[in-house]
Amino acid sequence: MSSKMEPASAGWLSDDAFHQVIAHTPLISLDFVVTNPQGEWLLGQRVNRPAQGSWFVPGGRVRKDETLEAAAQRLTRAELGQAIELAHMRFLGVYQHFYADSMLDPGLSTHYVVLAYQVSRALDLEALPRQQHDRYRWWSPQAIATTEAVHANTRAYLPAVSTPVRT
């Protein structure tokens, strides 16, 4: 693997460079607690590390020089199939996620600083992208609170989430 960065327009680091970032700094990400009119949450079963195999809310990393608004639109388009503006979301707070592994190395821990947002949307589960999650389903808050397959970092959002946000 090369340690050279990919072209800046790609917005991504080489695997070697990204490994160094994960090893030495926290990552900034956005998580989206998507709720439907019944108050259920959209969770996907994670395909990749960290949290592989767990049920988790959609989200992803913020790129350098990317505004939070641009990141939200890029990530919601990639994870939900439609770009959603931050103005149509409710800020839930800042969270920290610690994982024993990382997407590049099962022996390298990952630390995320997460800005969590709630958004209400009716979505067709069959039409959702499958890059990060191989299955999706709507979960009641009660099931999220009591199901071990739901990742603890997703359950941490329970106290902050209110009734569905109208957009």
Q: What's the total number of domains in the chain? A: 1
- CATH assignment of the domain containing 81: 3.90.79.10
The string of pLDDT tens digits covering residues 52-68 is 999 999 999 999 999 99
Q: 125-132, long-range: CB within 8 Å, 24+ apart, which pairs?
A: 125/42, 127/81, 128/44, 128/79, 128/80, 128/81, 129/78, 129/79, 129/80, 129/81, 130/47, 131/47, 131/78, 132/44, 132/46, 132/47, 132/48, 132/58, 132/60, 132/78, 132/79
Q: Which of 74, 164, 160, 159 is nearest to 121 (CA)?
A: 164
Tens-binned pLDDT, residue by residue, of the chain (167 aa): 333 333 444 567 788 888 888 888 999 999 999 999 999 999 999 999 999 999 999 999 999 999 999 999 999 999 999 999 999 999 999 999 999 988 888 888 899 999 999 999 888 888 888 888 889 999 999 999 999 999 999 999 999 997 555 55
| 132 annotated ligand binder | yes
Rounded Cα–Cα distance for residues 83 and 72 (Å): 8
pLDDT of residue 165: 52
Nearest CA to 29 out of 82, 87, 78, 100 is that of: 78
Residue 5 domain-assigned (yes or no): no
**In this structure, is residue 1 part of a structural domain?**
no
Range of the domain at 128: 10-160
